[in-house]
Amino acid sequence: MNAVRQPLPANLTALDVMTDAPVIPVIVLNDVAHAVPLARALVAGGIRMLEVTLRTPQALACIEAIAREVPDAVAGAGTLRRPEDAQAAANAGARFAVSPGYTSALGAACRAVHLPLLPGVATGSEIMMAMADGITEMKFFPALQAGGTAMLKAWHGPFFDVRFCPTGGISTSNAPEFLALPNVACVGGSWLTPADAVLAGDWARIESLAREASQFRTRSK
């Protein structure tokens, strides 16, 4: 049985998004018909922060369907690259945003439409650029290629007040190692929504993967 979930504030913060569950699924959808049953399966498994990446023509329609039909899910938009992506995501009903990198223009666009943003960073300079705009919650991307847990441990000293969501190369086998770090609030991963399971409509498998992921423990809260 799932634990009782706390109600979420009307105006989410990036920290709310990161600390709701140990894993944020990184979702690629090619068919709007898959959006709602997929979201329901993830929520049933204990994962309600859902990052739907803007990598397909159907992505915005999928976010809109989830926002409209799955009230217990929190639809977010991933792969924001341009300021106009923020407005499109907000119009579709997204409640948070995730980007592979960061620009001040993208940050300003997200603030203008009240979308908490998890910007992707891979270097100290990128972290400092985001911090200069008031951001202290970030996506470490691509996590494995950019240094993995060793890099996060090195950053903990100079960036002691920043919380990270490592994404890129994270799996069920290495997620606990990342989540054990004091500056990691959650991880992002695509393994919760395997393409073959989505195509087959195997929502029971996806619910099981979500349930397993929701049981991971984080050191940082």
Reduced to 3 DSSP states, what percent helix, strand and coil does the chain have, rounded to the nearest 5?
Answer: 40, 15, 45
The pLDDT value recorded for residue 218 is 83
Q: Is residue 1 part of a domain?
A: no
Residue 106 forms part of a structural domain: yes
User: In the prediction, which pLDDT does 1 show?
Assistant: 37
Answer yes or no: pTM beyond 0.85: yes
- Here the CATH number for the domain that contains residue 43 is 3.20.20.70
185 assigned to some structural domain: yes
Q: Please identify which residue in the block is written with the tokens 């650029």.
A: 129
List of the chain residues with pLDDT < 50:
1-3
- Cis ω on the peptide bond leading into residue 142 (within 30° of 0)? yes
Structural domain including 67 reads 14-214
Do the domain assignments include residue 165? Answer: yes
Dump strand ranges (E) for 28-115: 49-53, 74-78, 96-98
51 in Cβ contact with 192 (< 8 Å): no
Closest CA to 63 of 71, 51, 72: 51
- On whether residue 198 sits in a domain, the answer given is yes
Is there a catalytic annotation at residue 212? no
The DSSP 8-state label assigned to residue 208 in this structure reads H
Predicted confidence at residue 4, as pLDDT, reads: 53
Token pair listed for 52: 């739907």
Residue 6 makes CB contacts below 8 A (sequence gap 6+) with none
Active site residue 139: yes
Please state the domain count of the chain.
Answer: 1
CA-CA distance, 204 to 197, in Å (whole number)?
9
Active-site residue, from 51, 64, 137, 207 = 51
Residue 94 located in a structural domain? yes
Give domain status of residue 220, yes or no.
Answer: no
Residue 202 carries which side chain, given as an amino acid letter? D
Active-site position among 69, 139, 153, 207? 139
Assigned domain for 221 exists: no
Q: Which residue's entry shows tokens 């919650």? A: 137
What pLDDT sits at residue 221?
Answer: 56
Contact 210, 73 (CB under 8 A): no
